[in-house]
Structure 1
Amino acid sequence: MTLDLTGPPRPWPHALVRRFGAAHDRALDRADCWATPPAEGDPELLERLADLFGAPPGRTVVTGGVRQFAGSWAGLTRTALVERPGFADIGLVLAGTAAVSALPWEELPGAAQSCPEPVTVWVTSPYRNPDGHSLDTAGRAALAELARAGHQVVVNQVYRWYAPSVEPPPGCWSVTSLAKLCGGGSRLGWATVPDGVTVLPALRGSGPATTWQRAWAGFLDRPALASLHRSCIEPTLEARGAFTDRLGELLGWEFAGGGMSLSLSWHGAEEDRVMAEFAEQELRVGPGSAFDGQAGSVRLAFTGVDAAGAVRAADRVALLAARTAGALMPVR
């Protein structure tokens, strides 16, 4: 049986599906359902985001998600520095209107400081894709210092659902979405503007349709959020923990970070071979190139398996590791 570690969304409980359908019907049953939404977002949704997630009134802008935010952001600066590893599509979106360089977190401050004008710095924390790493105290301080120096720092918090709530470093933008909680098809997110900064014109009016915003506003409340967490987040964390614990028992491996994913690297092997070897073990994984990862790396995400499936996956990875004579290891 093939185990899917590519990160498909978990299905919602039927009761939540029905509840969302009812909220959508109510949104459609309003006379102004096809009206253009306000520039920063529908007031009902903004109120809901403030209540549930602390999204600050007056500094929150509804968007269609993180990728859409990046598209609206593109062109704000002539240079963009993005994290490596990270979701490679962000660099591609920004590259349409800026010179983009992908660098490890520790190299971003020096690269920004060497530029003669403000640049965009893009990082993902907590639990970034693909390795599950989060900014430490020193990393947060470095980003805050870049923001104070006039650079535009964006912290993608799309994996916030897997971690305790944390504010972005002072002076930094934050952007998130419901994609890693509800599924990529939710197409709803929001950005938080740094205190004292004016909302960028390109971001105003970038949210989805009025009906869609109101449907989510009518659906999302604390019980619905708790049900989504139980159904979609907790099983994923349990599966990742079962996988890492099993490989700790079998091979003594230790894994940094957390969240929904982790990375493995096969030293000296080409990506095509690594992917083929995992497929031979009936494991579907994500190619490292999709995340600007090191050569021979793959991403394993645990939204598509339960804890028992994660243990079976670990057993297969252990067999594969035994064949590599130590070349396959966790990415730290």
Structure 2
Amino acid sequence: MIDLTGPPRFWSLRLAQRFARCQEEAFRTPEWWRGPAPFGEPELRERLAELFGAPPERTVVTGGVRQFATAWAVAVRGGAGALPAMAVEAPTFSDIPEIVGSVEARAWSDLGAAPQTVPLWLTSPFRNPDGRSLGPAEISVLTDRIAAGTPVVINEVYRWFASKRLGPVPEGAWTVTSLAKLAGPGVRLGWFVAPDIASIARPLTSDGPPTAWQRGWARFLDAQTVNALRSDLVEATLDAKRSFLQYLIGTPEWQGNSPHLTLAHPTMDELTALRRLADEGVQASPGAAFRTPTAALRLAFSGVTVAEAADAARVFAKVGGFSPVLFD
């Protein structure tokens, strides 16, 4: 079975061995068993500033995007029930609405109509599942909302697939990312950048990853390692996606470097499409799992080779009728 649901790609043996050495070193540091520093271990925050431009005074290390979403939903509401809802982009990764609770779905084209008291959560670059990134129109709307007092979070978990420096985010927005899409979901390490120090409430600093884990990653992460992870994991995923697109639609480009792809069929519902594909040896994800407004399939290429991606494209071509789609 060719799995296009997005299982993680394996590390090279060289990287795995180096990480093991860095973790061993972390366990030899003084008092590695104590609780982590509230904003994160200083050496890790310094490394994040050095490599990714994360301003140390406004950066907090977290266990990942999900953990941040849980704490932020509490902190931004100022207590349970203080705000009636949060607006989360639609489509989106379905875990986020479930985590933050009391959610209203908003298409990007409808962001300006959300009440000013309702916080907004969006993903850019490369929104999951269709790969859209915020453009000037959306940035302008979000900037106006922030100026009016609306809290806005930009989830940058797919930043690793951007070929160039990330584009601008609205001034005053929160940003959050993790290493999950660079190194694997089991890493459970990320960070957020707050718009100002005063916004960093205690719930956001009370549950960071273990001290030794943070110190190990501080030793492991350097420019050479990031480049190796990009080559082994990110570029391999993009190569597989390009191979799929080249065969299916005749061009390797669709939404640039997005690691995932959304396909629609003019007449076939999701369950029928998934069954047809499975009968031919290909597994995909239903659009319903991402709250797509119309029937679609989400494909992710992190778990397949270039050859497997081409074989999967042949299956889609055999079934027929599928084409890439974007949502508002």
Category of TM-score, reference length = shorter chain = over 0.9
Matched residues in 2 for 1:295 and 1:271: separation?
10
Q: Paired residue for 1:17?
A: 16
Q: Paired residue for 1:84?
A: 90
Kept in 1: contact 2:243–2:252 (CA 8 A): no
Deviation at 1:268, TM superposition (A): 4.4
Give the partner amino acid of 2:127: R
1:171 equivalenced with 2:167 (yes/no): no
Q: Secondary structure at the match of 2:105?
A: strand
After superposition, give the CA deviation of every residue in 1:5-24 in whole Å (9 maximum; x if it has no partner): 11111111111101110111
Q: Secondary structure at the match of 1:133?
A: coil
Matched residues in 2 for 1:22 and 1:174: separation?
31
Kept in 2: contact 1:268–1:296 (CA 8 A): no
Kept in 2: contact 1:269–1:295 (CA 8 A): no
Matched residues in 1 for 2:295 and 2:268: separation?
5
Q: How is 1:123-134 mapped onto 2 (pairs within 5 angstroms)?
A: 123-134=122-133
Deviation at 1:298, TM superposition (A): 1.2
Kept in 2: contact 1:39–1:205 (CA 8 A): yes
1:330 equivalenced with 2:324 (yes/no): yes
Question: Among residues 94, 109, 126, which one is paired with 1:106 in the alignment?
Answer: 109
1:292 equivalenced with 2:287 (yes/no): no
Deviation at 1:330, TM superposition (A): 1.8
Q: Paired residue for 2:217?
A: 216
Matched residues in 1 for 2:180 and 2:60: separation?
17
Q: Secondary structure at the match of 1:37?
A: coil
* Percentage identity across paired residues of the two chains: 44
Deviation at 1:293, TM superposition (A): 1.4
1:135 equivalenced with 2:141 (yes/no): no
Deviation at 1:154, TM superposition (A): 0.2
1:200 equivalenced with 2:201 (yes/no): yes
Kept in 2: contact 1:248–1:254 (CA 8 A): no
Deviation at 1:329, TM superposition (A): 2.7
Deviation at 1:266, TM superposition (A): 2.6
**What RMSD, in angstroms, separates the aligned Cα atoms of the two structures?**
1.7
Q: Secondary structure at the match of 1:299?
A: strand
Q: Paired residue for 1:316?
A: 315
Q: Paired residue for 1:150?
A: 149
After superposition, give the CA deviation of every residue in 1:275-304 in whole Å (9 maximum; x if it has no partner): 211211211111212211134311100111
Kept in 2: contact 1:264–1:299 (CA 8 A): yes
Give the partner amino acid of 1:105: W
Matched residues in 2 for 1:41 and 1:128: separation?
27
After superposition, give the CA deviation of every residue in 1:68-89 in whole Å (9 maximum; x if it has no partner): 1111112323220001111011
Alignment: residue pair count: 317
Deviation at 1:100, TM superposition (A): 0.7
Kept in 1: contact 2:242–2:253 (CA 8 A): no
Q: Paired residue for 1:279?
A: 278
Deviation at 1:203, TM superposition (A): 0.4
Q: Secondary structure at the match of 1:175?
A: strand
Q: Paired residue for 2:80?
A: none
Matched residues in 2 for 1:129 and 1:312: separation?
23
Q: Secondary structure at the match of 1:202?
A: helix
Q: Secondary structure at the match of 1:122?
A: strand
Deviation at 1:314, TM superposition (A): 1.0
Higher mean C-alpha deviation, range 72-81 or range 15-24: 72-81
Matched residues in 2 for 1:266 and 1:307: separation?
24
Kept in 2: contact 1:236–1:302 (CA 8 A): yes
Matched residues in 2 for 1:188 and 1:63: separation?
6
Deviation at 1:197, TM superposition (A): 4.3
Q: Paired residue for 2:50?
A: 51
Q: Paired residue for 2:306?
A: 307
Matched residues in 1 for 2:256 and 2:232: separation?
22
Matched residues in 2 for 1:130 and 1:193: separation?
26
Higher mean C-alpha deviation, range 196-205 or range 39-48: 196-205
Deviation at 1:219, TM superposition (A): 0.6
4+ residue stretches of structure 1 with deviation over 6 A?
A: none
After superposition, give the CA deviation of every residue in 1:116-154 in whole Å (9 maximum; x if it has no partner): xx2210000001111111011111121111111101100
Name the CA shift for 1:47/1:16 in 2 (closer, same or farther; >3 Å): same
Q: Secondary structure at the match of 1:87?
A: coil
TM superposition score normalised by structure 1: 0.91
Question: Among residues 96, 99, 102, which one is paired with 1:93 in the alignment?
Answer: 99
After superposition, give the CA deviation of every residue in 1:164-190 in whole Å (9 maximum; x if it has no partner): 232422110000000000000000000
Matched residues in 1 for 2:58 and 2:38: separation?
12
Kept in 1: contact 2:244–2:252 (CA 8 A): no
